[in-house]
Amino acid sequence: MAHSSNRAVAAPSHGDGHGHEGHHDLEGMRMMGFWIFLITDCILFGSLFATYVVLSGNTAGGPTGAELFEMLGVIAETFILLTSSFTSGLAVLCMNKGDRKGLIVWLAITVLLGASFITLEITEFVNLVHEGAAISTSASWSAFFTLVGTHGLHVSVGLVWMIAIMIQLGRHGINSVTRRKVGIISLYWHFLDVVWIFVFTIVYMMGVM
Amino acid sequence: MAQHTNQGAHDAHGSHEAHGSLKSYVIGFVLSLVLTAIPLIIVLNDVLKGTAATVVLLGSAVLQFIVQLVYFMHLKEEGKPRYNMMVLILGLIIVLTIVAGSIWIMTYNKVA
């Protein structure tokens, strides 16, 4: 039953292990295309970081980050995202072993960790606004909300995307197409963790120092 | 020529799936945890101040970036024409130019 639908999706690829040069090449190219997207995303974040570093001193007499940052929440966010990066890697390992159930379970754990990260971040934003630091307060806070918010948006998109892939895995199982999709989402997730390391270091740690 | 390119893409694909081992993910995770803990200890306990603290903070961030590239994203295991590595290096050059250039120019543009 699951087999016939597998075939429908994997039809152009002839399944795995056939050593079809053309097919492998195509999936490899798609992987590389996504890698190039990640690098352009890197440049986007680079620009936002540059903006933040330049504007972080311009608080227009309003509150500064050092006064308002709640480090406990930020530290929790950091370790949660780091752990979710690890669990998305474990999902890929299960996939390589052909363990569909393990794959879906580890992806689900990753989604839960990502969702708690986003919950903590939204709570933090709401608290900041309540304490008088909104996006329109000063150039410093505009740069802060744009940088951290863009990262949060990426994580949210990643969550929806990961759930969609879990549904596809449930329907079609592990084939060459879903295999590539899981590989790409895990790459994306590791990338978001890397960006967060720099948010954590440059915005929060150097902010409260 | 075309055959060469084919071979490379094939290798990259194969090795990406074969080499990601539990060991590499655990090593990457533990190193990342340590590299996150170091700045926390230094900043929250006021061990270092000023430039020294900044250097350690940025140093551990960059190290963690490399750790994740190697152990989570398996960049080292890419096949021979290392296109991913080349794109990454180009991207990093652009990012560094944007960030360093912006900071450099804007330091001399302080109005306040």
> Contact, A155 vs A70, CB < 8 A?
no
Cα A158–A161–A163 angle (5° rounding)?
Answer: 110
Name the one residue in this structure whose structure tokens are 């020294």.
B52
Q: Does the pLDDT value for residue A39 go beyond 80?
A: yes
Q: Does the pLDDT value for residue B10 go beyond 70?
A: no
The rounded distance, in Å, linking the Cα atoms of B97 and A47 is 10
The predicted pLDDT at position A85 comes to 95
Is B74 an interface residue toward A (CB < 8 Å)? no
Q: Does the pLDDT value for residue B35 go beyond 60?
A: yes
> Contact, A192 vs A151, CB < 8 A?
yes
Q: Model confidence over A170-182: pLDDT tens digits?
A: 999 998 889 999 9
Out of B13, B20, B94, closest to residue A28 by CB: B13
The 8-class DSSP code of residue A136 comes to T
A25/A190: higher pLDDT: A190
Taking residues A116-134, what's their average pLDDT?
96
Residues 6+ apart with CB under 8 A from B66: none
CB–CB of A78 and B36 under 8 A?
yes
Q: Does the pLDDT value for residue A102 go beyond 50?
A: yes
Q: Does the pLDDT value for residue B5 go beyond 60?
A: no
Taking residues A9-29, what's their average pLDDT?
55
A9/B38: higher pLDDT: B38
Name the CA radius of gyration of chain B, rounded. Answer: 19
% of chain A at pLDDT higher than 70 = 89
The predicted pLDDT at position A24 comes to 64
- The Cα-based distances of B6 to A4, A45, A92, B3, B33 in angstroms read 31, 33, 25, 5, 38
Taking residues A93-108, what's their average pLDDT?
94
The predicted pLDDT at position A12 comes to 44
Confidence of residue B6 (pLDDT cuts 50, 70, 90): very low
Structure tokens at A18: 């056939």
Q: Model confidence over B71-86: pLDDT tens digits?
A: 999 888 877 788 889 9
- The Cα-based distances of A93 to A39, A79, A104, B72 in angstroms read 24, 21, 12, 11
The predicted pLDDT at position B14 comes to 42
The rounded distance, in Å, linking the Cα atoms of B28 and B30 is 6
Q: What pTM value is reported for the model?
A: 0.84
Q: Which fold has domain A70-209?
A: Four Helix Bundle (Hemerythrin (Met), subunit A) (1.20.120)
Contacts of B43 in chain A (CB under 8 A): 205, 208-209
Taking residues B32-44, what's their average pLDDT?
92
Q: Does the pLDDT value for residue B13 go beyond 80?
A: no
% of chain B at pLDDT higher than 90 = 51
Is B111 an interface residue toward A (CB < 8 Å)? no
Mean pLDDT taken over chain A: 88
Q: Where are the beta strands (DSSP E) in chain B?
A: none
3-state helix, strand, coil split of chain A in percent (to 5) is 85, 0, 15
Residues 155-184 of A with CB under 8 A from B: 179, 183
Q: Does the pLDDT value for residue B16 go beyond 50?
A: no
Q: How far is B26 from chain A (nearest CA, A)?
A: 8
The 8-class DSSP code of residue B20 comes to -
Mutation for testing the A interface, residue in B10, B22, B68, B90 having most A CBs under 10 Å: B68
Q: Does the pLDDT value for residue A199 go beyond 90?
A: yes
- The full set of domain ranges for chain B reads 2-81, 82-112
- The Cα-based distances of B97 to A47, A78, B33, B64, B105 in angstroms read 10, 27, 29, 21, 11
Is A92 an interface residue toward B (CB < 8 Å)? yes
> Contact, A201 vs A68, CB < 8 A?
no
Residues 6+ apart with CB under 8 A from A203: A52, A65, A144, A147, A148
Q: Does the pLDDT value for residue A105 go beyond 90?
A: yes
Q: Does the pLDDT value for residue B1 go beyond 70?
A: no
The rounded distance, in Å, linking the Cα atoms of A162 and A155 is 10
Structure tokens at A178: 């879903």
Confidence of residue B11 (pLDDT cuts 50, 70, 90): very low
> Contact, A87 vs A47, CB < 8 A?
no
Least confident of A2-6, A87-91, A130-134, B15-19: A2-6
Q: What's B43-59 look like in SS3?
A: HHCCCCCHHHHHHHHHH
The predicted pLDDT at position B3 comes to 41
Q: Model confidence over A46-86: pLDDT tens digits?
A: 999 999 999 998 888 889 988 999 999 999 999 999 999 99
The predicted pLDDT at position B87 comes to 93
- The Cα-based distances of A175 to A182, B9, B15, B97 in angstroms read 10, 19, 17, 41
